[in-house]
Structure 1
């Protein structure tokens, strides 16, 4: 325990020296699995308290590069699709004294700002490719369904709500292929839309809309093992520089 405390103190001292004060990044990493939209959460060491992945911006890196680094460290994925969706800068974002007590960090004597403004980024990732990794301060990193989220530390429940609202508003502009395997059926794509929107869609209208889209291309293969038909598989056409959306 003493060794861990010393590591934590060194970590916050390094953050204080190498990173920009008052600013942080919080990441909402969305994945789609078993017809559920999920987010990646971290459980803090020695507690049952959960939060979003996040981190600080080094003085030598851009904000977007910092977001990529923070998300990469938690997912094991590179060249993530990211979008900055909101800045959280309320004067009092959460009860700081209560929060620090819950996570019980040994940071007495570490100089850090009393107020932090957070830039929210969301990432769209294929669930099966992610290798969830905790960090120094946490001991578990795993997926949670949106409808089963616990009460999170800080203001992270609100951040997820805002991220989901932003994703819904910009749904037609987002490369949703990042949430799916490379090949998928139209019904599978419809279920993804329905899960994000939170309501059902008319199948015929959705099919016509997708067929009229120039973003999809049909493959020669079909999905086998379905109860009735063997539907064609589709994929999103690749676009130049489609890997970054921030």
Structure 2
């Protein structure tokens, strides 16, 4: 929604295009400066930040809706995307008056007010998806109702709107449980990487430290990565070997429903 007319049309006619009681909230993870980052937005006249999200179109598949919403927010396609939970038990999703008041604050910029019987004030179930993106490739698209965007360290997430802190906690648990799969690290590291780079990534995601020598041994023993013949020259007498994910072996834990841990 890029102008007031788009907002007016959405408020008055959105229920014709979208499923009124079903939305998607996206936990967008990026990796930068050895930190796991999270993308947040803040709507006009809202005190707290929120997760990016949106409604599902009436004839749209759920995953297609998630990809569309992510593209609208980041301009990225072909992202790693994982559905992880459905949210509907939080009091903020049951309290219609609070939801109505929050919506009225947002839509005040377009001179629109909604009452408690409006479709936007009804109880909404949210399907949580988490995405892994290249931090440097994200292009934020301005929106009429959005005041700002920011990346925050996963360990410094502020108090958010609605039940979005709970959604992030659930997404992080899922991400950590699926870390020992090719699809996770592959989307946050370059195709070829050094041992310190993957070591720092795993420490950032799991929020714990690993002994570097044991870390390498276990990665290789599990078959998650392969040491290449190539080296990266980073300075005098410093040319570490490069590694790459072993796609065939690293994807097996996910397919078999098991989880590998160090």
| Residues 1:85 and 2:88 aligned together | no
Residue matched to 1:147: 155
Structure of greater relative contact order (alpha carbons < 8 Å, 6+ residues apart): 1
1:102-152 superposed Cα distances (whole Å, 9 cap, x missing partner): 535424265335100000000011212221224342132331211222221
Residue matched to 2:25: 26
The Cα shift of 1:83 comes to 0.6
Instruction: Structure 1: state its 5+ residue gaps.
Output: none
Residue matched to 1:177: 186
Kindly tell me: are residues 187 and 65 of structure 1, through their superposed partners in 2, closer, same or farther at Cα, counting changes over 3 Å? same
The Cα shift of 1:216 comes to 2.6
What is the TM-score of this pair, normalised by structure 2?
A: 0.81
1:156-188 superposed Cα distances (whole Å, 9 cap, x missing partner): 111111111111122223531101122211111
The Cα shift of 1:27 comes to 0.2
Q: Is 125-134 or 18-27 further displaced after alignment?
A: 125-134
SS in 1 for 2:119: coil
Pairs within 5 Å for 1:145-224: 145-173=153-181, 174-224=183-233
The Cα shift of 1:93 comes to 3.0
Kindly tell me: are residues 51 and 203 of structure 1, through their superposed partners in 2, closer, same or farther at Cα, counting changes over 3 Å? same
The Cα shift of 1:218 comes to 3.5
Contact 2:225 2:243 in 1 (8 A): yes
| Number of residue pairs the alignment of both structures matches | 239
The Cα shift of 1:38 comes to 0.5
What is the TM-score of this pair, normalised by structure 1?
A: 0.85
Tell me the distance in 2 between the aligned counterparts of 1:218 and 1:187.
13
Pairs within 5 Å for 1:19-168: 19-90=18-89, 92-93=91-92, 95-97=98-100, 99-100=102-103, 102-103=105-106, 105=108, 106-108=112-114, 110-112=118-120, 114-168=122-176
